[in-house]
Amino acid sequence: MAKELYELNEAIPVGEVPKKMYAMAIRKERYGEPKNAFKKEVIDVPEIGPDDALVLVRAAGINYNNVWASLGIPLDMIDVHVKDQNDHSGVHIGGSDASGIVYKVGANVKNVKVGDEVVVHCGMWDVNNADIKAGKVDPIVHTSNRIWGYEVSYGSFAQFTKVQAHQCLPRPKHLSWEASAAYMLVGATAYRMLMGFAEHTVRKDDVVLIWGGAGGLGSMAIQIVREMGGKPIAVVNDTSKFDFCKSLGAVGVINRKDFNHWGMLPHWKDEAKYAEWIKGARAFGKAIWEIVGKGVNPRIVFEHPGETTIPTSCMVVDRGGMVVICAGTTGYNATVDLRYHWMHQKRLQGSHFANDEQCTAFNNLVLEKRIDPCLSQTFTFEQIGDVHQMMYENKHPHGNMVATVQLG
Ligand code: NDP
């Protein structure tokens, strides 16, 4: 008979599900800086449906999405839970990466069983939708797609998490529980961006420019490009990050602090300001040529900073190349000089997480030991708010961070 509540790191017999659990929860009244938004609370262990699994969380990966959830922008997640899932608990349990053990499965579940060691990907959708089942629509593009531990509550910042069973993939046994929790969200996102859009998947010798090369997405992107035979060039804000990017396979690294033309494009009629901007963008392009050769432009630019960098990305990407973007960390408005965009037939492609096949393909690269999760630091459960604060202030270490949850 399971106890009502187990202490953190107290052994919980496999398959025994308590009524209550500890969670690092966000509530509306605490919205604001992440360090104040999270609080350790005792809440009910969620009920699961027929297509779901309940996973005991060993370790939880830290991602930027719960910085957004703490701030309550661009969307108020607790309102989203009410409107979207009829969840009136008033609580948001974040956490979109986990390693753990399956403790319970729903009646329809066939891919995992109680006791399996898994990593969890964060893509959810209506698994019973006819078009998805028939393969007519990519589920991560379907209107029902949601990110677990962000748009849907009961993520990994709790002793137990409720997931759709298809989110569970085999855990790489050569890694620790902590390293296993570090890579899936950023890795699968980067995989789709680089391998998901035909015509512009990474080919041998392709030059790929990667913003934030030492960050979560960037560290995965460098390795994927390397594994596909391409030439990754990383951009960072400090020379101290150069060696890390090179150790992952970057053929060169650029310090963005050497340039100051960032931000939106000046109006094209303002000739003096525009000339100044384009001088900066061309100098940045020259820095790429210094690495890969004069006239060699990136066929793919891996974007996520958004507003401040996208004008440059769209300028330096090769004729017929693609800028692929999954975020707008510095702002959501993109200014692009369309003259270059159409004349040079460039592509600006949006991307968001990944589907089951892409998550599996990326997980296989980790299982085959071809990709390192780049776990930089492990924190305690109680430090989850502080770690998100570090991320918010861009003061976090390179690579990916995790918090331990229920290691006992
Ligand atoms: P990290 O903080 O780990 O890395 C982001 C990197 O961006 C930093 O290392 C930093 O590198 C760089 N950066 C910060 N400010 C700027 C700037 N002004 N100009 C250029 N580069 C900058 O975060 P993640 O890689 O995990 O995530 C990045 C973004 O992508 C977040 O907004 C996140 O929410 C989003 N995301 C979206 C996903 C999706 O599916 N849509 C999935 C995963 C993440 P440096 O300062 O060294 O240049």
> Do strands 168-170 and 52-61 pair parallel, antiparallel, or not at all (unpaired)?
unpaired
Q: What percent of the chain has pLDDT over 70?
A: 100
> Does position 175 have pLDDT exceeding 80, yes or no?
yes
DSSP helix, strand, coil percent of the chain (3-state; round to 5): 30, 20, 45
Nearest C-alpha to atom 11 of ligand 1 is from which residue? Answer: 212
Band (397; pLDDT cuts 50, 70, 90): confident
**pLDDT: which is higher, 189 or 397:** 189
**Residues 17-52 pLDDT 10s:** 999 999 999 999 999 999 999 999 999 999 999 999
Asked if residue 219 is part of any domain, the answer here is yes
Structure tokens at 313: 């990305």
Cβ < 6 A, ligand 1 pocket:
63-65, 185-186, 189, 211-212, 214-218, 235-237, 241, 256, 304-305, 308-309, 326-327, 329-330, 352-353, 391, 394
| One domain for residues 176 and 29 | yes
Which residue range(s) make up the domain with 299? 187-350
> Does position 63 have pLDDT exceeding 80, yes or no?
yes
pLDDT at 25: 98
| Average pLDDT of span 351-368 | 98
The burial of 197, by beta-carbon neighbours within 10 Å (0-12 exposed, 13-18 middle, 19 or more buried), is given as middle
Asked if residue 134 is part of any domain, the answer here is yes
Closest C-alpha among 230, 227, 233, 236 to residue 256: 236
> Does position 108 have pLDDT exceeding 80, yes or no?
yes
pLDDT at 408: 76
| One domain for residues 209 and 334 | yes
Nearest C-alpha to atom 30 of ligand 1 is from which residue? Answer: 327
**Residues 232-258 pLDDT 10s:** 999 999 999 999 999 999 999 999 999
Question: What CATH code is carried by the domain that includes residue 253?
Answer: 3.40.50.720
| One domain for residues 255 and 162 | no
222 C-alpha vs ligand 1 centroid, how far in Å?
14
| One domain for residues 213 and 303 | yes
Q: Which residue has the tokens 């997480």?
A: 353
301 C-alpha vs ligand 1 centroid, how far in Å?
14
Instruction: Tell me the C-alpha to C-alpha distance, in Å, between residue 396 and each of 216, 387, 392.
Output: 10, 8, 9
Instruction: Tell me the C-alpha to C-alpha distance, in Å, between residue 248 and each of 70, 88, 291, 377.
Output: 31, 44, 16, 17
> Does position 270 have pLDDT exceeding 80, yes or no?
yes
| Average pLDDT of span 345-362 | 98
380 C-alpha vs ligand 1 centroid, how far in Å?
23
Instruction: Collapse the DSSP code of 26 into the 3-class scheme (helix H, G, I; strand E, B; otherwise coil) and give the result.
Output: strand
Asked if residue 362 is part of any domain, the answer here is no
Instruction: Tell me the C-alpha to C-alpha distance, in Å, between residue 69 and each of 11, 29, 136.
Output: 31, 13, 32
| One domain for residues 379 and 234 | no
Instruction: Tell me the C-alpha to C-alpha distance, in Å, between residue 11 and each of 14, 297, 347, 406.
Output: 9, 54, 52, 8
| Average pLDDT of span 78-101 | 97
Alpha carbon dihedral 390, 380, 190, 53, in 10-degree steps, equals -140
Asked if residue 11 is part of any domain, the answer here is no
Q: Which residue has the tokens 């999760």?
A: 373
pLDDT at 8: 95
HSE-up of residue 79 (Cα within 13 Å, Cβ side): 7
pLDDT at 2: 81
Question: What CATH code is carried by the domain that includes residue 173?
Answer: 3.90.180.10
Determine how many CB atoms are found less than 10 A away from the CB of residue 212: 25
Structure tokens at 157: 């910042």
| One domain for residues 175 and 194 | no
* Whether the predicted interface score ipTM is above 0.95: yes
The burial of 181, by beta-carbon neighbours within 10 Å (0-12 exposed, 13-18 middle, 19 or more buried), is given as buried
Asked if residue 206 is part of any domain, the answer here is yes
Which residues is 307 bridged to in the sheet? none
Cα 153 to chain centroid distance, Å, stands at 17
CA distance 230 to 244: 18
The alpha carbons of the chain give a radius of gyration, in whole angstroms, of: 22
> Does position 157 have pLDDT exceeding 90, yes or no?
yes
Residue 22: which H helix or E strand, with range? strand 20-26
Q: What is the mean pLDDT of the chain?
A: 97
Query: DSSP character for 263?
Result: S
| One domain for residues 111 and 146 | yes
Atom of ligand 1 nearest to the CA of 329: 32
| Average pLDDT of span 196-203 | 98
H-helix segments, 270-401? 271-292, 310-316, 338-343, 356-367, 384-392
> Does position 392 have pLDDT exceeding 90, yes or no?
yes
> Does position 398 have pLDDT exceeding 90, yes or no?
no
| One domain for residues 204 and 91 | no
Residue among 194, 237, 316 whose CB has most ligand 1 atoms within 8 A, to mutate: 237
305 C-alpha vs ligand 1 centroid, how far in Å?
6
Residue among 96, 138, 259, 394 whose CB has most ligand 1 atoms within 8 A, to mutate: 394
Instruction: Give how many domains the chain has, as a whole number.
Output: 2
CB 150 within 8 A of CB 65: yes
Residue among 151, 240, 304 whose CB has most ligand 1 atoms within 8 A, to mutate: 304
304 C-alpha vs ligand 1 centroid, how far in Å?
6
CA distance 372 to 219: 9
Q: 16-32 burial, b for 16+ CB within 10 Å, e for fewer? A: eebeebbbbbbeeebbe
Asked if residue 368 is part of any domain, the answer here is no
pLDDT at 125: 98
| One domain for residues 290 and 207 | yes
| One domain for residues 202 and 174 | no
Asked if residue 355 is part of any domain, the answer here is no
| Average pLDDT of span 148-166 | 98
| One domain for residues 172 and 209 | no
| Average pLDDT of span 197-219 | 97
359 C-alpha vs ligand 1 centroid, how far in Å?
20
| One domain for residues 176 and 193 | no
CB 222 within 8 A of CB 236: no
Structure tokens at 209: 């420019």
pLDDT at 396: 87
Determine how many CB atoms are found less than 10 A away from the CB of residue 404: 20
CA distance 322 to 149: 30
Atom of ligand 1 nearest to the CA of 63: 26
Asked if residue 359 is part of any domain, the answer here is no
Instruction: Collapse the DSSP code of 349 into the 3-class scheme (helix H, G, I; strand E, B; otherwise coil) and give the result.
Output: strand
> Does position 112 have pLDDT exceeding 90, yes or no?
yes
